[in-house]
Amino acid sequence: MGVYILRRFGLMLLTLFGMSVLIFVMLRLVPGNISDILFESAGLVNPAEKKKIEAELGLDQPIIVQYWRWVSGLSRGDLGYAYVSEKPAIDEILPRIPITAKLASMALFFSVLFGVPLGVISAVKQNSPIDYLLRIVSLSGLSLPSFWLGLLILMGFVNYFGWIPIYSKPPDSFWTEVGLLAIPAAAVGFRSSALVMRLTRSSMLEVLRQDYIRTARSKGASNMAVNFKHALRNAVLPVVTIIGIEAAFLIGGLIVTETVFNIPGVARFLVEAIRWRDYPIVQNLVMFIAVVVVVINFLVDMAYAMLDPRIKYED
């Protein structure tokens, strides 16, 4: 097990190195940089002033030198300075990470809370009216874009309650923030719960046909014990995989939702930084998302060994 963890950790570092190179190079392949955008927006055409700005920002250096400066800064915890605000990038990014993390965590909580139990019920009640109803709901969740559902929710709140649940100002208490984030989290979690429910249903149906399930029923085990203790425990591995994928997706996939609900999170800030070619912000945010994805995949692999004793990682 120890050798496997070390090998897996080395693969994580290699993956992150490859991601850093890809992120850095792809940003430089996009036509234009912040000096071009600043000069176009201001209507200035003085080449000397433009070259002066590029020199101040280090954009005149060879791409290898720029990459080395970025990576060496990351190793020291120095993320550079934002080109637009001229503030340390870490001061711009850190306040936004908890907001996106809370929103993603609540959305994932909703998806698991509703997706897994409803998937079990749908499998146990196969081809019954409740099964058909839950399948229609799950297809609706997969078909409705989360931003469109979010807009419907906003219009419904305006029509029935006379107020809009958006971040007009920083919340004055923890519960106020939870209330504001619960609505967009439910809109995003509806799609994720539909995906989790369908996968739980298909996995449960496969397990419920196994011989050991029939043996448990013949020994007099209750339906609750059979469905949740025997069947769900063996059907949960694919569900854990999709939950891990959804958790990684939610960190960087909340761009439209944060925009619709005016949430000052990481995803919305990333779009603004891309528009301004603010390289330090974009590089560090995308790298942060890559780290989250890689770490979650590692945790899912470790969870396999805990959930299924048949899986052994040989040294």
Number of structural domains the chain divides into = 2
112 and 254 together in one domain: yes
Q: What is the mean pLDDT of residues 143-160?
A: 81
Residue 161 lies in a domain: yes
232 and 120 together in one domain: yes
Most confident stretch, 169-173, 223-227, 237-241, 273-277 = 237-241
Is residue 122's pLDDT more than 70? yes
Nearest to 222 by CA among 233, 231, 209: 231
Per-residue tokens: 311: 């899986």
Q: What is the mean pLDDT of residues 174-190?
A: 83
28 and 157 together in one domain: no
48 and 102 together in one domain: no
164 and 79 together in one domain: no
The owner of tokens 């019920």 is 121
206 and 280 together in one domain: no
43 and 178 together in one domain: no
Domain carrying residue 69: 1-89+276-307
Residue 33 lies in a domain: yes
36 and 165 together in one domain: no
Which CATH number do you get for residue 128? 1.10.3720.10
Mapping DSSP to helix (H, G, I), strand (E, B) and coil, where does residue 72 land? helix
138 and 258 together in one domain: yes
Task: Write out pLDDT tens, residues 89-107.
Answer: 888 888 888 888 888 888 8
For residues 301 and 290, give the distance between their C-alpha atoms in angstroms, rounded to a whole number.
17
108 and 194 together in one domain: yes
Is residue 43's pLDDT more than 60? no
Contacts of 69 (CB under 8 A, 6+ apart): 58, 61
Please state, for a pLDDT cut of 90, what percent of the chain lies above it: 3
For residues 280 and 301, give the distance between their C-alpha atoms in angstroms, rounded to a whole number.
32
* Lowest mean pLDDT segment, chosen from 131-140, 247-256, 257-266, 268-277: 247-256
282 and 249 together in one domain: no
Q: What is the mean pLDDT of residues 192-203?
A: 90
103 and 197 together in one domain: yes
**273 touches 34 (CB < 8 A):** no
